[in-house]
Amino acid sequence: MAQGLIEVERKFLPGPGTEERLQELGGTLEHRVTFRDTYYDTSELSLMRADHWLRQREDSGWELKCPGAAGVLGPHTEYKEVTAEPAIVAQLCKVLGAEDVGAGGVAAVLGPLGLQEVASFVTNRSAWKLVLLGAGEEEPQLRVDLDTADFGYAVGEVEALVHEEAEVPAALKKIHRLSSMLGVPAQETAPSKLIVYLQRFRPQDYQRLLEVNSSRERPQGTGHPDNSLG
């Protein structure tokens, strides 16, 4: 993904007829793929508690999701995705209050920044693209990812990528329209794979995120944050 794009997404719980409905709406299956995601944080979850999500995807490199505009309401999330390693390192240092960690990529600063693996799982994904009827040819396609994690959790995501904050409202309108066409209840929220992983396998960490996010909302991917996260 091009550096600096804003990801606007909404997660939902797919049903047995979701893929068939996507076909009926003119969706195109781009590919089916399997990959492993590994997430890193400090022992105190300093990144996640600041709504930053550091991930290494197998064969795809590093990504840091940073919060988008404040005041985003409803069953969707907005994140800026940083994929250039120097920019990731700079943002990590900023969030963690670190200064000079030396030269090198993300892997080289994990130790100095006290970052460790907190979750790792495999996802089977079917990736779809489609343009809503009536949208102009210049309109970017919407993306729908249908994921099943190796610990048995399935979640879908409708996503749009935009360049400027001013484009977010129109992207949200398209996302909600497609979600409605897929039969997703208007206020349905679905947790990200990472949040469900923590809830099942690291309940103390999950509870810590619940507590720190209670003042603003629930953890990433549960309405306002896969986090994430994907």
pLDDT tens digits along 90-148: 999 999 999 877 778 999 999 999 999 999 999 999 999 998 765 554 566 899 999 99
188 is in an annotated binding site: no
81 is in an annotated binding site: no
**Looking at the domain assignment, is residue 217 inside a domain?**
no
Q: What is the CATH number of the domain that holds 106?
A: 2.40.320.10
- The number of domains in the chain is 1
**Looking at the domain assignment, is residue 1 inside a domain?**
no
7 is in an annotated binding site: yes
Tell me which DSSP letter residue 192 carries. -
Cα 99 from Cα 94, distance rounded (Å): 8
Checking if the pLDDT of 221 tops 60, the result is: no
**Looking at the domain assignment, is residue 169 inside a domain?**
yes
3 vs 102, residue with greater confidence:
102
**pLDDT, mean of residues 166-174:** 88
**Looking at the domain assignment, is residue 41 inside a domain?**
yes
9 is in an annotated binding site: yes
125 is in an annotated binding site: yes
Q: Which domain does 25 fall in, by range?
A: 6-212
157 is in an annotated binding site: yes
**Looking at the domain assignment, is residue 11 inside a domain?**
yes
147 is in an annotated binding site: no
- Least confident piece of the model among 24-33, 54-63, 78-87: 78-87
pTM of the predicted protein model: 0.85
What is the per-residue burial (b if ≥16 Cβ within 10 Å, else e) of 86-113? eebbebbbebbeeeebeeeebeebbeeb
159 is in an annotated binding site: yes
The reported pLDDT for the residue numbered 141 is 81
145 is in an annotated binding site: yes
Give the CA count within 13 Å in the CB-facing half-sphere of 223: 15
Which tens digit of pLDDT belongs to each residue from 172-183?
A: 899 999 999 999
Positions of E strands within the chain: 6-12, 28-41, 53-57, 61-67, 77-82, 116-130, 142-149, 154-162
